[in-house]
Amino acid sequence: MSTSVTDPSSSQKWIAGTLVIAYALITIAPLIWIFMTGFKTPPDSISYPPKVVFEPSLEGYVNLFTTRTRLSEAELQALPAPDNFADEIVRNRGMVIVGPSRFGERFLNSVIIGFGSTFLSIFLGTLAAYAFSRFKIPFTDDLMFFILSTRMMPPIAVAIPIFLMYRELGLSDTHLGMILLYTAVNISLAVWLLKGFIDEIPREYEEAALIDGYTRFQAFYKVVLPQAATGIASTAIFCLIFAWNEYAFAVLLTSGTAQTAPPFIPTIIGIGGLDWPAVAAGATVFLLPVMIFTIMLRKHLLRGITFGAVRK
Amino acid sequence: MTDTPIDKAARATPRRVARVIKGVSDRTIAWIFVAPTIFLLLAINIFPLIWTINLSLTNYRANRVNREVDYIGLRNYERILTDTDIWLSMQATAHFLVWTIVLQVLIGFTLAWLINRKFKGNDLWTTIIVLPMMLSPAVVGNFWTFLYQPQIGLFNYVVSFFSGVDPSSFEMLGSVTLAPWSIVIVDTWMWTPFVMLICLAGLRSIPDYIYEAAEIDRASKWRQFWTITVPMVLPFLMLAVLFRGIENFKMFDLVVQLTGGGPGSITELASINLKREAFEKWRTGYSSAFAIILFVTVFGLASIYVKALNKVKER
């Protein structure tokens, strides 16, 4: 332990720690509440006072993934015994499962559009970032600023002409349309972050490769890309999270085939009022991957959220 | 020599093509690499922007395709600048913007300063605090409507637990006085960690020897805080404010899910108003003009701010 004069005293550390932990607990409480509500029964979820201790149930998750219909007592009696736990839960509410819900499809759309646009933005972004980092391009600063400025437009403002344009081109409510749109939004982040990462790779490595008889393409592919792998991976996760979370374009430009999960989750409605456990279950399934990614990314987080303006 | 797929590909490349690739100058490569990005941005950002400017001069309505479109000059702009609804939404945006930034700066800086006391386990708690920031605002906003329910909601219950107020006596989302605060609270919950992280980077960039020198000069801790810590973190803090300012000026998803602009239009921020004009009333020309005004406002304010930021950095 160093005993520098600038080191905080142990009582100071203790007070600071307590305050920060208190704030962290307040921050995490709503997220824990979402998680817990997903395992409540609908009556438990709306009880007063709110129930902290309850008997866990999978009803929320069953309701999230299925569509159900209500039957009369006589009709229920006539049915054969339930053959799995999901059936049993639903029967207890006087209903039967008639098929899967649309949540699965919407979730899959989020995956397809998220990964598609991430791949495309990273592919194009890496090429552009390499060029901006290594070659003398006229007006580099202006071009880089132009790329960044596209991020300042309110999404709704661009949405009007894009809505019209997509209607003309038949891209409304298609996966391709959404992938292209999210790529255009994400590419500014990708170019800015990746340029920072590539700038940090010494030029000497490539120059040595060029002298060894590699072409530019080979030097780029074999020397620069492996060196930039961590940077590319964390940039990719940022692009993925953005596309995953996006709502404004999704709600305006998709309605069926290509609708992603964020506009869908708030529309989950049970019989007789909002089915909060199902909404919470959907939110949990949707938010959990992002939380895991955030924890994985924590070293690069600051860089990512500030477009590389602050590097630790 | 190793036999990677690239070597194989290189050997399989016909000689003429290979010669062409080898002969490609760096300048050509640069343009080949940059062109797709620029093209995509032109097609999906700049072309729409120019189209918006064009639409803003017309009385076009996107739900009536066959109606004749007339150019009406700057009439849309005139009407927007004299429209009380628009001014109310700008006021709501300003209220939201100022309060979220004030709260996030105060709480975020304090937290960063406390975390920088380097107590045991600060990394773990920092990671936990950061979580809300990366989540989907629409999904989170939707869930907060549940937390804000009178009686059954966690928020009201916790408030009543500490203050003794009856949990069903107030409705965060339904009341004209409380609704603007309900969106400020959720945004602060979500984005304080952003300001905190940037401040933390600022605090960590201050070298220890400056404090050691101050200590030798017998400067009080209080004086050290105001003459070393604050000025050195200021550029970082201003950067955080810039990001939050731009983001919250555009705010849409979180608030749409929380209040939908209600009750009445008390929390109808500029973006929500714009969405209503464009996609519910279908006044395409009119809303395009509004979009342009918003864009110019953000862009203008951001440029002025960046100039100020650079001045602070130079000091």
* pLDDT tens-digit readout, A112-141: 999 999 999 999 999 999 999 988 888 888
Q: Give percent of chain A with pLDDT exceeding 90.
A: 45
Contact B111 A20 (CB under 8 A): yes
Query: Tell me, what's the ipTM?
Result: 0.89
Whole-angstrom distance, CA of residue A196 vs CA of residue B34: 16
Residue A123 falls inside a structural domain: yes
Domain total for chain A?
Answer: 1
A293 lies in some domain:
no
Span of A155-169, A186-200, B12-26 with lowest mean pLDDT: B12-26
Cβ-Cβ pairs closer than 8 A, A with B, add up to 293
Given CB atoms, is A263 within the 8 Å cutoff of chain B?
Answer: yes
Residues of B in contact with A132 (CB under 8 A): 34
Choose among B120, B302, B311, B116: nearest CA to B198: B116
Place of tokens 């429209």: B83
The per-residue b/e assignment along B173-190, b for 16 or more CB within 10 angstroms, e otherwise, is beeeebbbbbbbbbbbbb
- Chain A contact set for B129 (CB, 8 A): 20, 23-24, 27
Contact yes or no for B143 and A279 at CB 8 A: yes
How far is the alpha carbon of B10 from chain A, nearest alpha carbon, in Å?
9
Which chain B residues touch A198 with a CB distance below 8 Å? none
Task: Compute the Cα dihedral for B208, B214, B216, B219 and give only its sign.
Answer: negative
Give CA B243 to chain center in angstroms. Answer: 6
Establish if A53 belongs to a structural domain: no
DSSP label at B290? H
Q: In this predicted model, which residue has the larger pLDDT, B143 or A274?
A: B143
Nearest chain B residue (CA) to A126: B33
Alpha-carbon torsion A209, A210, A213, A218, what sign?
Answer: positive
Query: What is chain A's length?
Result: 312
* A17: closest chain B residue by CA: B119
Q: With an 8 Å Cβ cutoff, are B52 and A158 in contact?
A: yes
Number of separate helices (H) and strands (E) present in chain B = 16, 0
Amino acid at the residue B160: S
Q: Which residues of A touch B253 (CB under 8 A)?
A: 247-248, 262
A-interface mutation test, from B93, B96, B119, most A Cβ less than 10 A away? B119
In chain B, where does the domain assigned CATH 1.10.3720.10 lie?
76-314
Q: What is the CATH number of domain B76-314?
A: 1.10.3720.10
Domain that holds residue A261: 104-267
CA angle centred on B43, ends B41 and B48, rounded to 5° = 100
Is residue A307 assigned to a domain? no
Tell me what pLDDT residue A1 has: 41
Rounded to the nearest 10 degrees, how much is the dihedral formed by the CA atoms of A132, A133, A138, A141?
A: 80
Residue A176 lies in a domain: yes
What pLDDT does B198 receive? Answer: 93
Using one digit for the tens of pLDDT, what is the confidence trace for A14-34? 999 999 999 999 999 999 999
- Are B252 and A156 inside 8 Å of each other by CB? yes
Torsions phi, psi for A197 (to 5 deg): -65, -40
CA angle A281, A285, A286 (to 5 degrees): 115
Taking the C-alpha atoms of residue A307 and residue A190, their distance in angstroms, rounded to an integer, is 8
Report which of A178, A185, A192 is spatially closest to residue A153, judged by C-alpha positions: A185
| C-alpha triplet A150, B271, B186: angle, nearest 5° | 100
CB atoms within 10 A of CB A261: 26
Give B-chain residues touching A23 at CB under 8 angstroms. 107, 111, 129
In a domain, A13, yes or no: no
Min distance B176 CA to chain A CA atoms (Å): 23
Residues 27-46, chain B: which have Cβ within 8 Å of A? 27, 29-34, 36-38, 40-41, 43-46
Nearest CA in chain B to A303: B198
Chain B contact for A222, CB < 8 A?
A: yes
- Give B20's contacts in chain A (Cβ within 8 Å): none
- Closest-CA distance of chain B to residue A78, Å: 38
Taking CB atoms and an 8 Å limit, are A165 and B33 in contact across chains? no
- Three-state secondary structure along chain A? CCCCCCCCCHHHHHHHHHHHHHHHHHHHHHHHHHHHHCCCCHHHHCCCCCCCCCCCCCHHHHHHHEEEEECCHHHHHHCCCCCCHHHHHHHHCCEEEEEECCHHHHHHHHHHHHHHHHHHHHHHHHHHHHHHHHCCCCCHHHHHHHHHHCCCCCHHHHHHHHHHHHHHHCCCCCHHHHHHHHHHHHHHHHHHHHHHHHHCCCHHHHHHHHHCCCCHHHHHHHHHHHHCHHHHHHHHHHHHHHHHHCCHHHHHHCCCCCCCHHHHHHHCCCCCCCCHHHHHHHHHHHHHHHHHHHHHHCCCHHHHHCCCCCCC
Task: Give the Å distances, CA to CA, from A78 to A41, A86, A91.
Answer: 26, 18, 12
Coil/strand/helix, residue B117: coil
A92 pLDDT band, cuts 50/70/90, is confident
Q: Which member of B45, B62, B140 has the closest CB to residue A164?
A: B62
**HSE-up of residue B35 (Cα within 13 Å, Cβ side):** 6
What is the CATH number for A193? 1.10.3720.10
Between residues B118 and A232, the one the model is more confident about? A232
The predicted-structure confidence for B184-211, as pLDDT tens digits, reads as follows 999 999 999 999 999 999 999 999 899 9
A209 CA to chain B: closest CA distance, Å? 14
Indicate whether A274 pLDDT > 80. no
Measured between CA atoms, how close is A79 to chain B, in angstroms?
36
In contact, B182 and B261? CB cutoff 8 Å: no
- Mean pLDDT (whole number) for A289-298: 89
Search chain A and give the residue with CA nearest B284: A160
Binned at pLDDT 50, 70 and 90, residue A272 comes out as low
Q: Give me the residues of chain B with pLDDT under 70, please.
A: 1-23
Of A136, A216, A266, Cβ closest to residue B257: A266
Distance, CA of A247 to CA of A33 (rounded, Å)? 23
Q: Which chain A residues in 96-115 lie under 8 Å from chain B, judged by CB atoms? A: none
Q: Is residue A168, in this structure, part of any structural domain at all? A: yes
